[in-house]
Structure 1
Amino acid sequence: MGVALKDILTEFKHPAGQDELTGVAAVDTFNALYQFLSIIRQPDGTPLMDDEGRVTSHLSGLFFRTANFLQQGIRPVFVFDGKPPEMKSSTIQDRRDIRDESKEKWDEAKRKGDLTGAFRYAMSSSVVDEHIISSARTLLQFMGLPVVNAPSEGEAQAAYMARKGDVDYVISQDYDTLLFGTPVLVRNLTISGKRRIHGRQVTIQPERITLSDVLQTLEISREDLVDIAILTGTDFNPGIKGIGAKTGLKKVKNGEFDGIIRDKSPGFDPEPVRLFFQKPPVTDSYNLETSPVDRDGVFSFLCDEYSFSPDRVNPVLDKIAKKEKQKTLESWF
C-alpha cells in the first residue's frame, strides 16, 4: 500500500505537537480502517468480534480514536474511497493474493501455537469489506461527523481539500498523499501510542511532513516527486527493479527518467500515472459541517447491536458531551 519514498522523506518527519494538530483534518478512511483491523486483535491475531461473530475491531478503533481526536481539538472529516482506476487492478489482485496467503499462514501458526507469527500473519490478512464500510459509515453518522465520498482514491480527494484550504492537513500512513499534493501530511495519528512491532513494544508518535519543505530541500518539483515514485513503484505501476527512492531521486534530478523508462520498461507509458497523480478525479460536492452526537444512537449501535460494554462506551460519550457543551458555551463569548 502506498509508495516506497521513506528513504528520502525520513529527515522531513517531525514530531507533531498538539498545537499543530488542532483544526480540521481529512482522514484517509480506508487507510485508517486497515490500521484498526490490523492492530486491534487478540494475542493470536483474532480480531474483536460481537456475539454473532461479526468483526468489530474497526468500530472500536473508530469510536475510541475519534473520541480522542475530539478531545484534542481535532475535527475529523472522513474521506471514503470511490471506484479505483483500472490501472490499479494489478495491485488490488496482488493484495488479495497476499491476504489469502497470510490467512493460510495465520491458521497454520495458530495450530502450532506460534502466537507471535499468528499475530503477524493475521495483520496482513485484514480486509475492508462491505460490512466494515457500512458499519463505519453508520457509526460516523451517529457521531455527527462529516463524510466525503471520493469519486476515486480517498487520499487524492483529501489532498484536494487540503490544497483548497477546506481542511488543515491529511491523516494517512501513505506517502501517496504527498504525490497528490497535500500541503501537510500527518502520519501515525490513528495508531499513536504503545504498539507491539516485531515482537517488541514501541511507542509510536504522530509525525508531520510538509510538502514544501520536501520539495525545497531536495530541490525538486511535485512532478519530479511523482517521477521518483514511478521509478520506485506505485499502486499503478510496478516500478523499475533495483531503483529505490535515493537512486530515483538522483536519476530524476539528472534528467534520466525518460531514458530509464525507455531502456528498462519499453512497453510502459508513464503519462497516465503522472496525470492521475497530478489531476486525479475529485469532487467539490461535500459538506464539512458537524452535527451533535446522537448519544442514544451511538449507544444502541455499539452496545445493543455490536455487544460493546456500556462501561466502556458511556464514559467516552460523557467526555464528548462535555466537550460539546464547552464549545457551545464558548460560542457565546
Structure 2
Amino acid sequence: MGVHSLWKIVGPTARPVRLEALSKKKLAIDASIWIYQFLKAMRDKDGNSLPSSHIIGFFRRICKLLYFGILPIFVFDGGVPALKKQTINNRKQRREKNSESRQETAQKLLAIQLQREAENALNRSKKPSNNTTNGDDDDVIYFEDLPINKQERESSTPSSIVYRKNDEYHLPDLKEFKVSKFDERIMPEEDLTEFYEDLIMLMGLI
C-alpha cells in the first residue's frame, strides 16, 4: 500500500488469469482495496452511500470465489511504519493548515462584503431622491417638452411650461431625422429595399 510505481515494476510479468484456473488455490486479497471500492461505489437510488455496502460486497465476492473453488485469504494493514507515520502526520498538518487558511480567507471575504454593503447603504442615504427638485431644475427645458410645430412653439413660452426632473438616463423619442444624400454612411433607400428583398428571398419567405 502506498508504494509508488509498484505496478510499473510488476507490470511486465503480469498476465490475465481466468477464475477457473485458480480453482483449489489460495488467493491473497487486499482487504483495504475491497472496503474502499464498496464504500465508494455502492449507492442507493438517491446517490447516498450505504452503511453496510462493504459487508454486502464482501459477501457476494466471497460467494463467487467459493463457487469457483478459490480459497480467499484477506490481508489487512498492520502497524504503520515510522516513515509512513511521519508522512501521515505531515499530511494531517497540511490539511489542518489549509482548513485554517480557508476559514481565514472566508472571514476576510465576508468582512469585505459587509463593508461594501455598509458603504453602499451610506451612499444611498446621502444621495438625494429623484422626486426632489431644486431651483436649478426649474430653468431646464427638455426636448419632449418643446412644442411640436411652429405655431405651438410661437404661442408657448418657457414660463407657461411646468418642468419636472426626469430620469437622468432618459432620452427623448425621435420622430424623424434628416441626413444628406451624399452621406456615405447611410445606405440609399433603393439599396436598402433591394437588400431587404434579397434577405427575404434567402430566408425562404417568398
Q: TM-score with structure 2 length normalisation?
A: 0.37
User: Rg: which structure is higher?
Assistant: 2
Q: Which has the higher strand share?
A: 1
Q: Considering Cα pairs closer than 8 Å and 6+ residues apart, tell me whether 1 or 2 has the greater RCO.
A: 1
